[in-house]
Amino acid sequence: MTTNATDPMIGRMIDRRYRVRSRIARGGMATVYLATDVRLERRVAIKIMHGHLADDQAFRERFIQEARSAARLSHPNLVGVYDQGAEDDTAYIVMEYIPGITLRDLLQEHHALTPEQATDILRAVLAGLASAHRAGIVHRDLKPENVLLADDGRIKLGDFGLARATTANTATGAALLGTIAYLSPELVTRGAADSRSDIYALGIMLYEMLTGEQPYKGDQPMQIAYQHANDTVPPPSASIPGVPPELDELVAWATARNPGDRPADAREMLDHMSGGLQRATGQYRTAVLRPENATAILPSEGPAARTPSSVGSAPEDDSADATTVIDRSAGAAPVGRGRNQPGPRRTGSQPGALSPAAQRLADKSAKRRKRGWIVFAVIVLLALVAGTIGWVYGPGPLGNVRIPEVAGKSVTQARQLLEAQGLRTAATTARRFDAVIAKGEVSATKPAAKREVQKGTAVQLVVSNGPRMITLPAIIGQPESTVTAALDDDFELQDNRYQFSADAAKDTVIAATGRDASGPVDLGTATTYAERGTVTLTVSLGPVPDVVGKTVDEAGATLEGVGLRLGSQDQKYDDQVPEGQIISASVADDPAVQGSAVDVVVSRGPAPIQLPDVHDKTINDATSTLEGLGLKVSVPDCTNILCGFYDWKATLPVTGTDPPAGTTVHRGDTITLAYEQ
């Protein structure tokens, strides 16, 4: 398992609302994290689509479809969906957090479950699935991994990642979706799925709960798929003696290869479990009505109507399953089961008179009709009462409504939205700090938004005081890692800025900026700052390297090593810097950042000089002229004895130079003067 420390999502704030805390699970399409909704201060599970799928439009639409499908459903046995959105091309779903384990974890720990445990879990899953089927949603990925067993005993069905409307029930693409071990035969062979496909998967899950293993095994997925399409799931009792026959029959019914032989949906299967498994078979009799010959099955109420065995009076037949033929125009003529008896004999001379046995049957029928009218009247009355109660507690004054989402609204707007739902606003408001909602706007409600309450309930508005002001730690001159750790829990750190600085050591913070309603904030001088406010740190890269005296190649390598580049290269004569070395360097950008160019001036060596003609000038004048050009002058000593009696350098003329006039020389070169002694 990959640790949280290597997951870049840990600690990230999604949509400025959901702080990711830790990883819960990872699937083929997404990873589920535990997060905190900082606006409502509650734990949630946030499902984030894998980054490598972001460019796949089909996966992205399927992921959004899960949120839309699940958001349409509201049932105690279904995982609730709170929110859905996208950030930086990454889609996410915010769901109810269910601390606990999955059914797969329970099976791995206990292998097989008792019939009572299996049916309890199956009933809860069926109840939630029935809500989905009623809304026209087919789950398509039912398996133990998607059944959540909460620590407080709740059982929830989640992960509608493959859910589709029943009106679009054909699988697309070359590959079948869903786990192969739970795919129905029609999904394997035709790629078609409806609510009965979910029932098949539940049948496989029930078999696995009762036996601890799946009915079909194979080394390759296609081997298992072939068995689903061609074999019949064996009864669980064949593997685990003692499994009740009723559960064998339920598994057989749910996993029938022909979809038409299965329950139509989860509601039918749940109703069967609630009554059909426990109800004893009743006794029935058949009444045939003439002339329409319509047949009705009526529950027996004891001995059947007595029928004569011959013309006139005779011992009565006690059969409970007798067939009675009734003529609507002339009373009823009982006929014994399995006999061919004539109809009842009319007695006396009065037209239409019935025999005593027929008269008793007619009287009994009249009483039943009277009772039927009474029952009908009671049913109508109960329906009216139920309808009235339903109206009162539904659309009426005592009905339940969901508290609307008013976060971010003004107090006046929030009151209007609550009153439109038939709710009252509490006389007093509460206040709290909120890092997201602006001061003076509604931050939350008590009870919380989306809670179902009775109409007329007083809802208290919680008004935002704005973000909490937090004392800032020392920032300027501190190491980058120290400042980041100190600010990360309370503020939103933006990407750091980096620049070269001659006054700060590398990796120390030289500036910090934030923003409030009035504009930018210098956090280097501020003492407090708003919670969850944005912070941008400017970090020193150290001084720009000194490249003076280096060659161009040496300077280029040095600058490239710190993220700078060599810019323009001017050339200049320099008497002090050798040719090819850099005389000076300057950065074009201020401040210098990585990628900035450094312009340099490269020495061409000393400037060339054309030696002037100093012929006939006195030695002193010639010396002055040449030294003024930066040249050195050498004058041979005068050996004439007379030179000791006067200033011969101021008097004797120069007769030549070495090198001669017109020669190209450079500053610092030595010129020797010639003169006549």
Euclidean distance between CA atoms 475 and 493, whole angstroms: 13
Terminal-to-terminal C-alpha distance of the chain? 103
pLDDT at residue 639 in the model: 84
CATH tag, 552-603: 3.30.10.20
Query: In 260-411, where do the E strands start and end?
Result: 284-290, 295-299, 324-327, 332-334, 400-402
pLDDT of residue 17: 92
Of 46, 22, 152, nearest in space to 99 by CA: 152
Q: Which CATH class is domain 400-464?
A: alpha beta
Are the CB atoms for 30 and 49 separated by under 8 Å? yes
3-class DSSP state of 335: coil
| Cβ atoms 344, 357 nearer than 8 A | yes
Strand duo 442-446 + 492-493: pairing: unpaired
User: Count of H helices and E strands in the chain?
Assistant: 13, 36
Q: Look at residues 30, 132, 145, 19 and name the one whose alpha carbon lies nearest to residue 490.
A: 19
Which residues in 409-424 are b (16+ Cβ under 10 Å) and which e? beeeebbebbeeebbe
Fold for 608-675, please state it.
Trypsin Inhibitor V; Chain A (3.30.10)
**d(Cα 305, Cα 293) in Å, to the nearest integer?**
19
Could you tell me how far CA 116 lies from the centroid of its own chain?
A: 35
Q: Cis peptide leading into 308, omega within 30 of 0?
A: no
- Concerning whether 141 is annotated as a catalytic residue, the answer is yes
Alpha-carbon distance values, 404 to 420, 432, 447 (Å): 10, 20, 11
Amino acid identity, position 455 = K
Of 269, 150, 260, 153, which is closest to residue 205 (Cα–Cα)? 269
C-alpha 226/C-alpha 217 separation (Å) is: 11
By the 10 Å C-beta count (0-12 exposed, 13-18 middle, 19+ buried), 619 is classed as buried
CB under 8 Å to 59, separation ≥6 — which residues? 29, 49, 53
Active-site residue, selected from the candidate residues 141, 159, 198, 574? 141
> Which sign does the torsion angle of CA 492, 498, 503, 505 carry?
positive
What single-letter DSSP state applies at residue 653? B
Structure tokens at 107: 């099976």
Neighbours of 606 (CB within 10 A): 19
Query: Using CA atoms in the order 150, 153, 154, 157, what is the torsion angle rounded to 10 degrees?
Result: 60
According to the CATH classification, is domain 4-96 in 3.30.200.20?
yes
CA of residue 427 relative to chain centroid, distance: 38
Rounded CA gap, 606 and 666, in Å?
6
Tokens 């070359």 belong to residue:
174
- Mode of pairing for the β-strands spanning 534-540 and 492-493: parallel
Q: Which residues of 283-304 are buried (b: 16+ CB within 10 A; e: fewer)?
A: eebebeeeeeeeeeeeeeeeeb
CA–CA gap between residue 180 and residue 183 (Å, rounded): 5
Beta strands 528-530 and 469-471 are: antiparallel
Note whether 313 and 356 are within 8 A (CB).
yes
The dotted CATH code for 100-276 is 1.10.510.10
Q: Which residue has the tokens 């009772």?
A: 371
Task: Kindly give the parts of the chain with pLDDT less than 50.
Answer: 1-3, 165-178, 278-355, 357-358
Q: How far apart are CA 254 and CA 263, in angstroms?
A: 7
Domain(s) of CATH 3.30.200.20: residues in the chain: 4-96
The span from the CA of 601 to the CA of 76, in Å, is 78
Q: At what angle do helices 245-254 and 195-211 cross, to 10 degrees?
A: 140
Q: Where in the chain is the domain with CATH 1.10.510.10?
A: 100-276
Q: Where are the beta strands (DSSP E) in 291-417?
A: 295-299, 324-327, 332-334, 400-402
What residue spans of 493-633 are helical by DSSP H? 552-560, 619-628
Residue 530 φ/ψ, nearest 5 degrees:
-70, 135
| CATH 3.30.10.20, domain 469-540, yes or no | yes
Residues of the chain with CATH 3.30.10.20: 400-464, 469-540, 552-603, 608-675
d(CA 364, CA 393): 42
How far is the CA of 570 from the CAs of 57, 520, 666, in angstroms?
55, 41, 21
Contacts of 329 (CB under 8 A, 6+ apart): none
pTM listed for this prediction: 0.43
Which ranges of 476-570 would DSSP assign to H, the alpha helix? Answer: 480-487, 552-560
